[in-house]
Amino acid sequence: MHFIRCWRRSATVITSIRSFAVKRQLCSVGSEDDTVFAMSSGQGRCGVAVVRVSGPASALAVRSLTRRLPAARTASFRSIIHPQTKELLDRGLVLWFPGPRSFTGEDSAEFHIHGGPAVINGVLQALGTLPGLRPAEAGEFTRRAFFAGKLDLTEVEGLGDLIHAETEAQRRQALRQMAGDLGRIYQDWRERLKRCLAHVEAFIDFSEDELVEDGILNDGKPHLNLLCPLVDAGVCRLQTEMGNHLSDQRRGERLRSGVQVVIAGSTNAGKSSLLNMLTQRPAAIVSPTAGTTRDVVEVPLDIGGYPVLLSDTAGLRDTSDSVEQEGVRRARQRVEQADLTLAVVDLTQLPSEPRLASVFLRGHLRSILEQTSDRQQCIQILNKSDLISTEQKHSIRAMLENDGDVAHFSFLSCHTRDGLEELLTLLQDKLKTLCGDPLAGRPSLTQTRHRTHLQKCTEALHQYHQYRDVDLVLAAEGLRLGLSSLGRITGRIGAEEILDVIFKDFCIGK
Ligand SMILES: Nc1nc2c(ncn2[C@@H]2O[C@H](COP(=O)(O)OP(=O)(O)OP(=O)(O)O)[C@@H](O)[C@H]2O)c(=O)[nH]1
Ligand SMILES: [K+]
Ligand SMILES: [Mg+2]
């Protein structure tokens, strides 16, 4: 059975980024020596809410609200009392995690309380009355874990992705990244590059006399490979590995952000009917009038665990209507940016003669894909199969199977749902190819941020090769730049400037 559902709950990213940026500025007066607290479970009424505390005054907080400190890392059932009024706020579980063996590396505690708003507000308000305690900023617990060396930046990003993961494949990829699989690759490259740089620097540090005496220096030009034959090989190997990692057709990034699947074709082919059938709701207007759809209608879907952004578009035709022209322009733009195009054809428009039908289909596909030449990224959907005879269907199928040019096709009826299972199987296979298996092989690159730094690193390594025979100091500088770019991925270097960007996606309490 195929599994389809909506995977993206809301689209309020822009406002949340803005409000987060403002909050950061306001709160940046807070120091890391403060003890912070926040509700870490979701907003709204719930059975159990978790309030987290982290920082040096955590023990004070537990003692003030529950009288004594429980045994470390063991749940203890306690009365939770307001430290000033002595009023009973709730009864719940208290956990005490003395640093450094805690998520943040600091002394921390958790109160598992009843999830009603009055209880939660009572406990948060009580914590706020204690000296040295203040409400946490978004992502502050994770930020502290990062500064305590508990997580590197790729693991922090993995954690952020895990919180936002809405499909199975996204969850698998995020979990793997959070466990440090990706970070370990970058760390290993960094260590190896560091060794290469150390060799070159040692070479530079030798005095000229020593080198001349040892016959290493010829014509006043040092020959690096006489002293460290491993450096060249090491740098080349790194370049190959990074090149492979970079040329992964954006599989990991696509899985993280959703695969762009676009429905396109002539007017009245049944594009909106297909969108509605896949989304299982009337997301787009369907009517017998050609040119019904004008705007792009986009719906997030989970197809077999893969995140898809499915778009219905205006039917492609020449028209004098300026609004429809704009719709066609947008449709073409979407097809250009698509990871996968579903080219919908109305079977009743197909000539009955097989050779002419073949020409018609090719022409139809060409008119949709125009600039994008990659046939592999397209599925031809032969719609309205309920309106043609079984014999006609057989002869079209035979014709297409003999035509090497049509890569993938699927017969479908949006009215009888005939062919839906077949289409979904085909779709799922395509998505698997486009996103890869997040658990198989080496982990994929998941973020543009990593790609940018890695590209900079490979450019810097190129500088090494360029200068190694001419100017060793410049060659070494290439390695140093490469090292610094790699360090930026895991957060060894320049973390402060990118932390805000990463934590924008975190919620308060994480
Ligand atoms: N018999 C039959 N009719 C279909 C099928 N799919 C769609 N239709 C009909 O074809 C007409 C056009 O369907 P739409 O889904 O609006 O087609 P569209 O491609 O979105 O059209 P535009 O937005 O105008 O480009 C409607 O009357 C649908 O009911 C099908 O599989 N079988
Ligand atoms: K229509
Ligand atoms: Mg439509």
Q: Is there a single domain that holds both residue 372 and residue 449?
A: no
Ligand 1 near 273 CB (within 6 A): yes
pLDDT of 88 higher than 90: yes
d(CA 484, CA 492): 8
DSSP, residue by residue, 214-273: TT-EETTEE-HHHH-HHHHHHHHHHHHHHHHHH-STTHHHHHHH-EEEEEEESTTSSHHH
Q: How confident is the model at residue 4 (pLDDT cuts 50, 70, 90)?
A: low
From the CB of 448, is ligand 1 less than 6 Å away? no
Give yes or no for residue 386 CB within 6 A of ligand 1.
yes
Q: Which atom belonging to ligand 1 lies closest to the Cα atom of 344?
A: 19
* Structural domains counted in the chain: 3
Band of pLDDT at residue 10, cut at 50, 70 and 90: very low
Q: What is the CATH number of the domain that holds 475?
A: 1.20.120.430
Q: Indicate whether 187 and 269 sit together in one domain.
A: no
Q: Which three-class secondary structure state does DSSP give residue 468?
A: coil
Cα(17) to ligand 1 centroid in Å equals 40
pLDDT digits (tens, 9 = 90+) for 157-190: 999 999 899 999 999 999 999 999 999 999 999 9
Q: Is 446 in the pocket of ligand 1 (CB under 6 A)?
A: no
78 and 122 share one domain: yes
Protein residue closest via CA to atom 27 of ligand 1: 288
End-to-end CA distance of the chain: 36
Convert the pLDDT of each residue in 96-125 to its tens digit. Answer: 999 999 999 999 999 999 999 899 999 999
416 and 302, same domain (yes or no):
yes
Looking from the CA of residue 265, the nearest atom of ligand 1 is 19
Separation CA 54–CA 63 (nearest Å) = 14
Answer yes or no: is 172 within a domain: no
For residue 201, tell me if it sits in a domain: yes
Q: How far is CA 170 from the centre of its chain?
A: 8
Count how many residues are written for the chain. Answer: 510
pLDDT band at 373; cut points 50, 70, 90: low
Same domain, 61 and 194: no
Interface ipTM > 0.95: yes
Domain CATH code at residue 123: 3.30.1360.120
Region 481-501: what's the mean pLDDT? 81
- Residues 308-323 pLDDT 10s: 999 999 999 999 999 9
Omega prior to 100 cis, within 30 of 0: yes
pLDDT tens-digit series, residues 69-82? 999 999 999 999 99
Amino acid letter, 18: R
Question: Which atom of ligand 1 lies at the shortest distance from residue 276's CA?
Answer: 15
At how many degrees (to 10) do helices 229-246 and 448-467 cross? Answer: 150
Distance separating alpha carbons of residues 17 and 506, to the nearest angstrom: 10
Does residue 291's CB lie within 6 angstroms of at least one atom of ligand 1?
yes
Which tokens belong to 306? 């893969």
310 and 409 fall within a common domain: yes
Q: Which one of the ligands is nearest to 291 CA? A: 1
Distance 376 CA to ligand 3 centre (A): 24
pLDDT for 493: 74
Tell whether 74 and 218 lie within a shared domain.
no
Confidence (pLDDT) at 472: 85
DSSP state of 55: S
Tokens representing 3 are 């599994």
Long-range contacts of 23-26 (CB under 8 A, 24+ apart): 23/137, 23/138, 24/137, 24/138, 24/500
505 in any annotated domain: no
User: Tokens 């092989």 belong to which residue?
Assistant: 441
Same domain for 472 and 375, yes or no, is: no
Contact 465, 260 (CB under 8 A): no
The owner of tokens 């020593």 is 210
343 lines ligand 1 (CB under 6 A): no
The neighbourhood of ligand 3, an ion, using CB within 5 A, equals 271-272, 292-293
Is the predicted pLDDT of residue 491 greater than 60, yes or no? yes
- Return the best residue to mutate from 263, 266, 273 for the ligand 1 pocket (most ligand atoms within 8 A of CB): 273
- Report the predicted TM-score, pTM, of the whole model to 2 decimal places: 0.78
